[in-house]
Copies of this chain bind each other. A is one copy, B any other.
């Protein structure tokens, strides 16, 4: 992965230096957290990718649960419990759920309690499952009491039971050790995976939360973790200008000071939309804070948005180029395209766009992106570029770890706690009251 920003981020080297250097003590702290290799502080999530014991547990669980018969993995979880898993699954298999109907296992995600989806999923289970080993359910909730997750699992288990006698054998529960759900599942001899209590949901992709369903689906999670370990090293460099996470945190911070209240993540690869949505949670929930670390009311935050190239150039491109200059853009793309699919030499409809002859689809996408970057520069719209080394488990591992460290650094610069989410209690409390009063 490479971070490009010189001249385009519209931040002077001096300003950048002055800001990034403030991160040095925190970088030192994180280096100590890494060296200790324990789970004692929220930042300890940086130790997950190199946790061999955890990886062994995940792979052993896979061995127990996955046979060649496995066709469907149903992940029941919401927010931090499924966004990372879905990001990797979509990046790697993207459209092939429909376009490769015979590729298995497929993964389904039950997050919100959408009645139509639940009905369709239950019907699917009743119609399609012929053998218990064809399906596995992974219930993921740290607290064990997430309303949506409990609703989904209880409804889906009704459909399960009609098809499978010993459903207990086809469930894996991922939760905090000792949660109510942990105890209930243990009582039924259901297989359990623990999450480290200090690791928050949005920092949990390299814990059993993400690694188990991905391993079960056949992804090489060692490669995924190796990418994260490599990038973790770079992003703990105590020379902050050589540290990509420290640099991009500083660029986001300085651009916010310059009234760029939106960070648009413009991903030039539709497969990466869910990866963008994972980051949207990470930034939104970590930076969006009513109070700062001193208890002062600040209403801090940057609003993250996700755009897809080239599709959204035909949607919000006009707004971005002509509208309010309130955005700092991150262009995210891969430097390597594996497919060489190309336009034929002889066109079926000749004479429409002559420039396209003989080009690969990848070259067309690249030319569009280059055109956009020139247009942004001409309009003095600030941006950075995050160039992935292909779309692979290794490069995705790099991306996740880089972004989690960037957000920790940004929390430090903005003087907010990037690990809590105190305001969501406001609606949850009301929801519970409404449910009880019915």
Interface residues of A (CB under 8 A from B): 78-80, 83, 94-101, 106, 108, 111-124, 128, 144-145, 147-148, 150-151, 153-155, 157-158, 180-181, 184-185, 261-262, 269-271, 277, 280-281, 284-285, 287-291, 299-301, 303-305, 308-311, 313-327, 337-344, 347-353, 355-356, 359-365, 367-368, 370-372, 374-375, 378-379, 421-424, 426-436, 438
Q: Is A155 touching B341 in the complex (CB atoms < 8 A)?
A: yes
Most chain B CB atoms below 10 A, which of A116, A351, A436 = A116
- A362 surroundings in chain B (CB, below 8 A): 115
Chain A contact surface mostly:
helix
Q: Is A116 touching B271 in the complex (CB atoms < 8 A)?
A: yes
Q: Is A121 touching B99 in the complex (CB atoms < 8 A)?
A: yes
Q: Provided the pairs A144-B352, A341-B122 are in contact, do residues A359 and B426 lie with their beta carbons within 8 angstroms? A: no
Q: Within the complex, what minimum Cβ distance (angstroms) separates A70 from chain B?
A: 16
Q: Is B319 touching A349 in the complex (CB atoms < 8 A)?
A: no
Q: Is B98 touching A339 in the complex (CB atoms < 8 A)?
A: no
**In the complex, A362 Cα to B301 Cα: how many Å?**
32
Q: Is B370 touching A431 in the complex (CB atoms < 8 A)?
A: yes
Q: Is B371 touching A116 in the complex (CB atoms < 8 A)?
A: no
Q: Is A349 touching B153 in the complex (CB atoms < 8 A)?
A: yes
- A435 surroundings in chain B (CB, below 8 A): 355-356, 359, 363-364, 367
Q: Is A364 touching B319 in the complex (CB atoms < 8 A)?
A: no
Q: Provided the pairs A154-B348, A290-B322, A303-B319 are in contact, do residues A271 and B341 lie with their beta carbons within 8 angstroms? A: no
Q: Is A326 touching B112 in the complex (CB atoms < 8 A)?
A: no
> A152: nearest residue on chain B (CB-CB)?
B361
Q: Is A281 touching B316 in the complex (CB atoms < 8 A)?
A: yes
24 contacts between A and B (CB under 8 A): A79-B311, A95-B120, A98-B98, A99-B120, A100-B123, A101-B128, A113-B365, A114-B271, A114-B365, A115-B340, A147-B353, A180-B352, A184-B349, A261-B261, A288-B321, A290-B322, A299-B322, A300-B323, A301-B322, A303-B323, A321-B427, A368-B427, A371-B434, A372-B430
